[in-house]
Amino acid sequence: MQHALQCSAQPDLRRPFSQQRLRDRPRRSVAIAAFATLALCATPSSAQVAKAPTSIAPPPTSPAQQYELGLDYWHGRNGVAVDRAEGMKWLRAAADQGSGPAQNALGLRYKDGLGVATDYAEARKWFEKGATNGNGDALNNLGHMYLLGQGMKANDVLAADYFRKSANTGNAWGMRNLAWSLENGRGVFRDLPAAVELYRKSASAGNTDAMFQLGRLYERGEGVKKDDSEALRWFRLAATGGHKAAGQRVAQLEVAKK
């Protein structure tokens, strides 16, 4: 293990200064020399720390490590400065090795024009690769592209199918979007009870928009018995999680109660 200051004998500047000085002057007392060395090891000067050797970590080779490094550069985390180009390089390296999360991350960046020009064809390519690897986010995002017709002809049936596949992986957004398809009869037969159940599962997984949708259904009495108190409870839960529309609805309902 390397430390900022090495107390064992090392060649050249890697040795503590005390040892180098002791070699260049007449020998006095062994005890005095030993004491001087120990003292310097315990309280290193800034010069010693500056000249201590540094180790450079080898570049990551596993897809998981490359994906994390790509996110580090993208977001400027873990002591790494923001560098979108470097981030894309490592995300692509991970994606090329079959990382589903990295493939989805690349797809998102091409879909939304983040750090690169918007390119729906490239986004679709990476989402399809991630979907093939069973990545729930990629399956959901591919369904969303089909729903909106981004770079392809809109297809509600395919959109709902991808949402279902995403939901089957336990993906909260996949469940939320499949619930929306069932609620509105988009690509599937309308089924409000099934939609409510999926909204609940998504909400249980922490999806604040699913919480908001449940509040909306309780407020209207669609798929559930109308219950203003339950509606407000769901709106509050969503608002606590940062959902802006839910926060606005809470404010409106509390004013109406006065």
Residues 6+ apart with CB under 8 A from 23: none
DSSP track, 128-158: HHHHHTT-HHHHHHHHHHHHHTSSS---HHH
**What is the rounded distance in angstroms from the CA atom of residue 74 to the CA atom of residue 102?**
12
**pLDDT band for position 53 (cuts 50, 70, 90):** low
Give residue 58's pLDDT.
81
CA distances from 95 to 58, 62, 92, 119 (A): 20, 11, 5, 17
Give mean pLDDT, residues 82-102: 97
Give mean pLDDT, residues 108-127: 97
Lowest-confidence segment of 12-26, 109-123, 155-169, 226-240 by average pLDDT: 12-26
Helix axes 84-96, 63-75, angle to 10 degrees: 160
CA distances from 247 to 166, 219, 252, 255 (A): 28, 15, 9, 13
Give residue 51's pLDDT.
53
Global confidence as pTM: 0.76
Q: Give how far the C-alpha of residue 111 lies from the chain's centroid of Cα atoms, to the nearest Å.
A: 17
Is 193 within 8 Å of 214 (Cβ atoms)?
no
- Give the pLDDT confidence of 190-200 residue by residue, as tens digits: 999 999 999 99
**pLDDT band for position 22 (cuts 50, 70, 90):** very low
Quote the tokens at residue 105.
Answer: 């991350």
Domain range summary for the chain, segments of one domain joined by +: 12-51
Average pLDDT across the chain, whole number: 84
Q: Which residue has the higher pLDDT, 31 or 142?
A: 142
**CA dihedral sign of residues 15, 17, 22, 25:** positive
DSSP track, 78-117: TTPPP-HHHHHHHHHHHHHTT-HHHHHHHHHHHHHTSSS-
Is 212 within 8 Å of 243 (Cβ atoms)?
yes
Lowest-confidence segment of 28-42, 54-68, 111-125, 219-233 by average pLDDT: 28-42
**pLDDT band for position 158 (cuts 50, 70, 90):** very high
